[in-house]
Amino acid sequence: MRYGLMLATIGWALFLTVIAGVSRVDADPPDFSKVPVKGMVTMIDLGAKKCIPCKMMAPIMEKMEKVYQGKAAIVFIDVWETRGQAERFRISSIPTQIFFNPEGKEIYRHVGFMGEEAIVAQLKSMGVE
């Protein structure tokens, strides 16, 4: 009886761990202390690799990173892997995109999926070609 109860308890704990999305990460978390990047317009996309709208934005973010290399900093932060960043940037919902001017001042914030055209328009409005 005790053995069955112990297995049930372990199974329940494992179930709760999986449901909560808790996972062990062996690698050191990325250092985001220099974000936003001083001297450069910065766009931060705060989301999670397993969030559906965030997954939809991933190819757009990869493209933006290549297109704006050297012109603007395009940064993705997984707030499920680096939970402190959600608190730091006051995130209540994902994905959230935040645009900063070269001085590091927040200029614009958007919550939810943000398409390529909207990102390009925001960057242009901030002087990035």
> Per the domain annotation, does 11 fall within a domain?
no
What span, in angstroms and rounded, lies between the C-alpha atoms of 16 and 10?
A: 10
54 included as an active-site residue: yes
Catalytic residue among 41, 44, 48, 54: 54
Catalytic residue among 32, 37, 40, 51: 51
> Per the domain annotation, does 101 fall within a domain?
yes
116: domain CATH number is 3.40.30.10
| Half-sphere exposure for 68 (CA within 13 Å, toward CB) | 26
> Per the domain annotation, does 94 fall within a domain?
yes
77 included as an active-site residue: no
Q: What strands lie across the sheet with 42-47, from one edge to the other?
A: 73-78, 42-47, 96-100, 106-111
Domain that holds residue 83: 42-125
Q: What is the pLDDT along the chain (129 residues), one digit of tens a residue?
A: 444 433 333 343 333 333 333 333 445 557 888 899 999 999 999 999 999 999 999 999 999 999 999 999 999 999 999 999 999 999 999 999 999 999 999 999 999 999 999 999 999 999 998
What span, in angstroms and rounded, lies between the C-alpha atoms of 50 and 66?
A: 23
- Give how many domains the chain has, as a whole number: 1
With beta carbons less than 8 A apart as the criterion, state whether 92 and 109 touch: no
> Per the domain annotation, does 20 fall within a domain?
no
- Token pair belonging to 44: 């931060």
